[in-house]
Structure 1
Amino acid sequence: MLKYLMLYEDRGIEIEYAESQYVWDSNGRKYLDMHTGHGVAFLGHRNPHIVNTIVDQMSKVMTLSTSFRVKIREEMLEVLSKVVPDRYEYVYLLNSGSEAVEFALKISRKVTGRKKIIYFTNSFHGRTFGALSVTANQKYRKGFEPLLPETMMLRYNDLSEIDKAVDEQTAAVILELIQGEGGINVASEEFVSELRRRTMDVGAILIIDEIQTGFGRTGSIWLSEQYGVYPDILLAGKAIGGGFPVSVIFMPHDIGVKIERGSHGSTYGGNPLACAAVKASTEVLINDSVPQKAYEKGNMFFELLRRELKDIRIVREIRGAGLMIGIDLRIEPTNIIKELQNEGILALKSGTTVLRLLPPYVITNIDIEYAVKVIARTIASQISS
């Protein structure tokens, strides 16, 4: 009998059913899901419109090389164009966030003819070799070195290093506006503005990784919109497929036109089911005003958390945007996550000391009020223990 290689910690429950903001285990117990598969189920588990669109496409064509045209791809592009800034003319679909990062790094070196790639402390961009080379945490890198050469790590939110480090030898700078795995650290407006200015000055490519922050979670379709910054390459994933594995890379004309056939490829990338998932997810995003709802519910969540947690001394800070929430603690949050699960709430960790909440946009006000009370009680209980 084969054994599944468990590369994530087993949470000790078997999930049998999922719908909207809830999942049920094999014992019939219901959980409020604020883990959402590391943020994938932002549009809710088994969103009916997304499921129906995928099932409809399955009855026609399930898999097809992008060498062949298919109607659903054109339909996806038409709808997706409504939520992407006008400067982006080219789009390419892959299967995971790491793959999108890999392609972005390849594009940067190909287009600029340079080698150096800059990333930041506490960054996380994936676990494949290229993505891992721009991921800061040593626990992910250990045992896999040497990684890509000519990468350079700078301090996140530190303006003092930018002018010296980002130079005429730099191919790309890759940045998360909120570091999802690294601690829900939020980039300052000054930091992002300086990176945009400097990359333009030296002709380097600015890659913004919105695989976790994008597609409505942070209260706007793209978090970069809130900064007034348009990167040279924009990466999306997780929520954009509504639960189907897909990632997207967006490029302007001056970059996309330089990518030759054969420069990259993917057996499954851009398959008809992925196109159907992205089309349907985008329609949900537009038709149900998802970013606005994430903004409003996020504001409520932050307000209640700050009120309920303000006197709990092991709470350092509450930060994030929209429905991407981090509670920075003075202790490691593993026990809190376990206790929350026992109370019927699924959450996850970010960085070393941050309790991370990634609820779907369909979470209700009643859910939020309940979750805040349980979270406050659970965190407070750790003081005496």
Structure 2
Amino acid sequence: MLKYLMFYEDRGLEISYAEGQYVWDSNGLKYIDMHTGHGVAFLGHRNPHVVKALTEQLNKVSIASTSFRVRVREEMLNILSKIVPNSFEYVYLLNSGSEIVDFALKVARKATGRKKIVYFTNSFHGRTFGALSVTSNIRYRRGVEPLLQDTYQAKFNNVDELDKVVDNETAAVIVELIQGEGGVNVASKEFAKAVRARTLETGSILIIDEIQTGFGRTGTTWLFEQYNIVPDILLAGKAIGGGFPVSVAFLPHEIASKLEPGTHGSTYGGNPLACAAVKAATEVLIQDSVPLKAYDKGRELIDLLKKELSGHRIVREIRGAGLMIGIDLRIEPTKTIKCLQNNGLLALKAGVTVLRLLPPYVINRDDIAYAVNVIGKCIEESSS
């Protein structure tokens, strides 16, 4: 019998059912999900509006090349235009975060005629060759190098280094304003504005990777809004499909106009089911004021965590925005994560020492209170 090739740790849990902010295992035990498939189920598991849209589309047309028109694609484009700045005139869909990062890097080189790509320490943009080339963790890169040439790493949140690294040979700078996998590291406003200013000065393309931070999770539709900057290329994924595998790039006319037919292609990218999922997820985002709810619930969760963990000797810092939260510990968090799972709460790791929480926006006050209590208990047990 075949075995599944595992690259993630087996958590020893068979999930048999999921709904909203909860999952149940094969023994019928219930868990509050703050893992959400690395943030994918931000709108809640099996969001009813998304499920309905997918079911209806499945009964019409499930697959068609983008060479052919389908009504749902036009409907998706219409509603997506309501949640991005007017500077973005084009949308391209692929299937995963890594794919859309590769696409953006390819587009940047094509549009500028330059080769150099700048990324930052503790970044994570994916594990395909292009995305891995701008991911800093050596553990992911070891054994598969050489990767893309002409990629250069700069220090995250270091303004002084930007003038030295980003120059007139730079095609693009790619950045996460909160680094998820890297440790829930938050970009300073000074740094973000300096990156934007330097890319404009050098004619480089600014790519902001909002695959995890975007689509309402951090308290605004897009995190870049909180920094009063706008990227040249915006990348989204995870939550934007409401659980369906899809990623999105938003591009302005001046970049898209430099791409000719055949520049890129994808068998499944932009398929009718993906379009239906993105359309429905965006309708939920708008109609249910998702960013505002994420902001309010995230603030409550962070405030309670700070109160619960204040002065705890192994807690360095609690940071993040909205419902993207990191608890930086003085120990490796695996033991804590296992304790949380044993007490009905699913979470995940970020960086080396960070406990990461990515709950869905439908989480309620009772869930938050329970989670904070369990986190405090498990951190206390882990420190003894």
Scaled by the length of structure 2, what TM-score is found?
1.00
- 3-state DSSP class of the match of 2:218? coil
Q: Which residue of 1 aligns with 2:122?
A: 122
Scaled by the length of structure 1, what TM-score is found?
0.99
The equivalences for 1:164-183 within 5 A come to 164-183=164-183
The yes-or-no answer on 1:350 pairing with 2:324 is: no
The equivalences for 1:144-155 within 5 A come to 144-155=144-155
The yes-or-no answer on 1:216 pairing with 2:216 is: yes
Q: Which residue of 2 aligns with 1:67?
A: 67
Q: Which residue of 2 aligns with 1:321?
A: 321
State the one-letter code of the partner of 1:94: L
- 3-state DSSP class of the match of 1:62? coil
State the one-letter code of the partner of 1:240: I
How big is the shift at 1:289?
A: 0.3
State the one-letter code of the partner of 1:80: L
State the one-letter code of the partner of 2:351: G
1:190 and 1:383 map into 2 onto residues whose CA distance is 36
1:26 and 1:224 map into 2 onto residues whose CA distance is 40
Q: Which residue of 2 aligns with 1:194?
A: 194
1:73 and 1:168 map into 2 onto residues whose CA distance is 38
1:165 and 1:375 map into 2 onto residues whose CA distance is 41
1:205 and 1:238 map into 2 onto residues whose CA distance is 23
2:128 and 2:87 map into 1 onto residues whose CA distance is 29
1:172 and 1:383 map into 2 onto residues whose CA distance is 43
- 3-state DSSP class of the match of 1:195? helix
1:209 and 1:75 map into 2 onto residues whose CA distance is 25
Q: Which residue of 2 aligns with 1:295?
A: 295
Q: Which residue of 1 aligns with 2:97?
A: 97
State the one-letter code of the partner of 2:186: V
1:253 and 1:148 map into 2 onto residues whose CA distance is 27
String of CA shifts for 1:23-47, please: whole Å, max 9, x gaps: 0000000000000000000000000
- 3-state DSSP class of the match of 1:148? coil
Q: Which residue of 1 aligns with 2:304?
A: 304
Q: Which residue of 2 aligns with 1:268?
A: 268
1:378 and 1:128 map into 2 onto residues whose CA distance is 35
String of CA shifts for 1:4-26, please: whole Å, max 9, x gaps: 10111100010000000000000
How big is the shift at 1:258?
A: 1.1
1:123 and 1:155 map into 2 onto residues whose CA distance is 10
- Gaps of at least 5 residues in structure 1 are none
1:207 and 1:80 map into 2 onto residues whose CA distance is 19
The equivalences for 1:210-289 within 5 A come to 210-289=210-289
How big is the shift at 1:126?
A: 0.2
TM superposition outliers: structure 1 runs of 4+ over 6 Å:
none
- 3-state DSSP class of the match of 1:42? coil
The yes-or-no answer on 1:333 pairing with 2:313 is: no
1:120 and 1:156 map into 2 onto residues whose CA distance is 5
String of CA shifts for 1:255-290, please: whole Å, max 9, x gaps: 111111100010000000000000000000000000
1:158 and 1:32 map into 2 onto residues whose CA distance is 37
State the one-letter code of the partner of 2:7: L
How big is the shift at 1:311?
A: 2.1
1:166 and 1:312 map into 2 onto residues whose CA distance is 41
Q: Which residue of 2 aligns with 1:381?
A: 381
Q: Which residue of 1 aligns with 2:41?
A: 41
Q: Which residue of 1 aligns with 2:29?
A: 29
State the one-letter code of the partner of 1:83: I
Q: Percent identity?
A: 72
- Gaps of at least 5 residues in structure 2 are none
2:260 and 2:374 map into 1 onto residues whose CA distance is 54
- 3-state DSSP class of the match of 2:118? strand
Q: Which residue of 1 aligns with 2:141?
A: 141
State the one-letter code of the partner of 1:338: K
String of CA shifts for 1:69-90, please: whole Å, max 9, x gaps: 0000001011111111111000
How big is the shift at 1:217?
A: 0.1
State the one-letter code of the partner of 1:175: V
Q: Which residue of 1 aligns with 2:108?
A: 108
1:329 and 1:110 map into 2 onto residues whose CA distance is 43
The yes-or-no answer on 1:163 pairing with 2:144 is: no
- 3-state DSSP class of the match of 1:231? coil
1:243 and 1:123 map into 2 onto residues whose CA distance is 24
1:3 and 1:345 map into 2 onto residues whose CA distance is 28
2:303 and 2:3 map into 1 onto residues whose CA distance is 45
1:168 and 1:297 map into 2 onto residues whose CA distance is 43
How big is the shift at 1:383?
A: 2.1
String of CA shifts for 1:155-185, please: whole Å, max 9, x gaps: 0000111011110100000000000000000
State the one-letter code of the partner of 2:143: G
State the one-letter code of the partner of 2:84: V
